[in-house]
Chains A and B, each alone.
Chain A
Amino acid sequence: MKEPLVKIRDLSKLYPTGGGGFLALSELDLDIPAGAFMALVGPSGSGKTTLLNIIGTLDSQTGGEIEVLGHKVDTLDARQSAALRAEKIGFIFQSYNLLPVYNVYENVELPLLLLKMDKAERHEAVMQALKWVGITDKMKSRPNQLSGGEGQRVSIARAMVKRPKLVLADEPTANLDTENSVNILDTMLQINEETGTTFIFATHDQKVIDYMKRVVTLIDGKKAKDDLKTGN
């Protein structure tokens, strides 16, 4: 049987606080196969973002085991986890986080600069990513000249430009209206189906949940439900 892209066993995360600590994740088991298009849902404080951070190697667990793309997260040093993120993991944020002093093209180009790719290859990859999200006509615009939907498209292009195996999206539609949310979700679903890239969302948004092939519900850091939708 094929190894899952993300393998989680008895995972826990304890944040130290004055009163003995806050358990953000507890006894969590989860397998996420390659090509998944799934969401982590649950109320605020249920551990969605914490889990996304640990999967993204930005944080590490305090108990249990997690393997991402074949790497045990707690055994990676800073250099290795940075390399893993640079090469194989893309991030999409609620507030897009585009760098205001750079134009659309340059924002999308940044992850490739970190990979030290040559200029011609970079250009080809950036143009391809901009085409995917349908925003080539705005490539010279600065972030403050874009609408919310356009900003999030650029953010998706930036996450996808290096052709990652895994994309982590934290509330990607929270700042968008329904029409833009649907467009964005259509775009991501299309990329998922065309490239086989795994998408993991953390969301409250029912519109997003409706698009998912699988929905894992977290409550108080524990897995409460794991729904694989019909036909998926």
Chain B
Amino acid sequence: MLKFVLKGLIRDRSRSFFPVLIVTAGVLVTVFLTAFMSGYMESMVRQNARFDTGHVKIVTNAYADKISQKPYDLGFIDSESDFEQWKRDFPSIRWTPRIYFGALMDVPDEEGNTLEQGDVFGMAIDLWDPGAVQDIHLQEALVQGRIPQAPSEILISQELFSKLRLQLDSTVTLLGSTLHGAMSFQNYIISGTVSFGVHALDRGGIVTDIEDARLFLDMEGGASEYFGFLPDGIYDDGEATKIKREFNARYNSEDEFAPQMLALTDQNDLGFMLSYAGLALGLINVVFILIIAIVLWNAGLLNSIRRYGEFGLRLAMGERKGRLYKWLLVEALAVGVVGSLIGAALGIGLIQYFHVHGIDFGAFTQDTSMMVENVVYLSADTKNLILGIIPGPVATVLGAMLAGIGIFRRNTAKLFKELET
């Protein structure tokens, strides 16, 4: 009977082609959207971890309270022995110190007078630690010049470099204030320019070695934040939270300069955003199921009306209503499975393309401070793919169930009578 039903389904294009087309389109959109959302969220997590949050980070209590202002004056000083102890306590984590600071950059002319000035956002990392350099993909971000190889060399964002009409190897002066509030001046040589693909950083960022920043800000042996990265480089909220709890139980206290560990999801509303993204993915699937089910319900109703003759005939021949209904659902399932497989195959093709080439959102993120890459690379894991595929058969079966109720409610004699009209 299955062969008989499927044969009829394939031959009757209005029963197969149109519904398969709907499901294919729906699954394609769902799989693509799911992969896009995943890619977007992964990009956000990756960028935040690299530049702002780490997978975990250690800051002082006072710094944590005003963390959005990056108040380096509330950071750690002379904390190297503590840092060594934390590294020993959590050897699976890769640790690296950072200092974020703001300053005014002065560009002198040939006679030493100010030619240009601009605000800069400084990110100081351990440039002699290859891991720290790799964390922010510095080599890949280099547009021209080279990574600093000597003290007092800095990298500057390509955008700022052009705006201030700078030259490579030219000297600039940073004006800022020390940890203790005193005015601070320091000359630096521009060794190269960078573009991270994150507008928040590319607008006016500089990258210095942490020792230079310590000197400039009078933060000997200190750091404003200590970043930690999980072993495989992928954020795992469960693992990060476990480490955070362990660290805070051991080291955190009421003291305003006591160390406190934060997980990635504790910062920048990322916890909320990740949960929201999960919810949004679920909603996409539910909305897809509803829309497709309604469309197929309608198509199923029209089809059922067209097929009353066939149903009446089959009932007259002795087929039970329940069995007839079951075969309707089998047809729907077949349509759902075929449509989903085609939709998923097309979706995977599209995802593969955009996984390699990405989608450039640079034009839309120019004025945002969000840590998102300009080019979002789609990402589809098996779980998301299954989540994208499941709604297809569910929607077709649901549509057929709703449409088929009409047959159940109609009595056999009436269906039989409709056979003759």
Contact = CB atoms under 8 A, between A and B. Distances in A.
Task: Say whether A associates with B.
Answer: yes
A82 B319 contact: yes
B413 A85 contact: no
Contact of A110 (B4, B312, B413, B419): B4
Contact of A113 (B1, B321, B412): B1
Interface string A170-213: 10000000000000000000000000000000000000000000
B316 interface: yes
Given A113-B4, A114-B318, A114-B319, A97 B11 contact: no
B66 interface: no
Nearest to B317: A111
Contacts of A91: 316-317
B317 A85 contact: yes
Interface string B28-62: 00000000000000000000000000000000000
Interface string A79-113: 10011111101010111010101100010011101
Contact of B316 (A56, A79, A115): A56
A58 interface: yes
B320 A53 contact: no
Contacts of A97: 309, 312-313, 419
B420 A95 contact: yes
Contact of B8 (A94, A99, A111): A99
Contact of A101 (B8, B315, B318, B416): B8
A89 B412 CA distance: 15
B415 to A, nearest CB: 9
B11 A58 contact: no
B411 to A, nearest CB: 8
Majority secondary structure of chain B interface residues (helix, strand, loop or mixed): helix
B119 interface: no
A137 B318 CA distance: 28
Contacts of A93: 313, 419-420
Contacts of A102: 4, 7-8, 11
B168 to A, nearest CB: 75
B310 interface: yes
Contacts of A78: 320-321, 412
Contacts of B11: 101-102
A21 to B, nearest CB: 16
A99 B313 contact: yes
B4 to A, nearest CB: 6
Interface in B377-417: 412-413, 416
A58 B413 contact: yes
Contacts of A56: 316
B269 interface: no
Interface string B174-196: 00000000000000000000000
A59 B415 CA distance: 11
Interface string B265-281: 00000000000000000
A114 B1 CA distance: 8
Given A101-B11, A106-B4, A111 B413 contact: no
Nearest to B416: A58
Given A93-B420, A106-B7, A82 B320 contact: yes
On chain A, which size bracket covers the interface?
20 to 34
Contacts of A110: 4, 314, 317
A170 B420 contact: yes
Interface residues of B, number: 23
Nearest to B10: A101
Interface centre among B4, B7, B316 (most CB of A within 10 A): B316
A53 B419 contact: no
A114 B317 contact: yes
B140 interface: no
A114 B316 CA distance: 11
B232 interface: no
Interface string A58-81: 110000000000000000001100
B10 to A, nearest CB: 9
B255 interface: no
A78 B412 CA distance: 9
Contacts of A85: 316-318
Contacts of B110: none
Contacts of B310: 99
Interface in A36-65: 53, 56, 58-59
Interface in B98-145: none
A103 B150 CA distance: 86
B12 interface: yes
A84 B412 CA distance: 14
Contact of B12 (A86, A101, A106, A115): A101
A59 B420 CA distance: 15
A58 B320 contact: no
Contacts of B8: 99, 101-102
7 contacts: A86-B318, A86-B319, A94-B420, A99-B310, A101-B8, A102-B4, A102-B8
- 9 tightest CB-CB pairs across the interface, nearest first? A86-B318, A85-B318, A59-B413, A101-B11, A82-B320, A101-B12, A101-B8, A82-B318, A58-B413
Interface of B: 1, 4, 7-8, 11-12, 309-310, 312-321, 412-413, 416, 419-420
Interface of A: 53, 56, 58-59, 78-79, 82-87, 89, 91, 93-95, 97, 99, 101-102, 106, 109-111, 113-116, 170
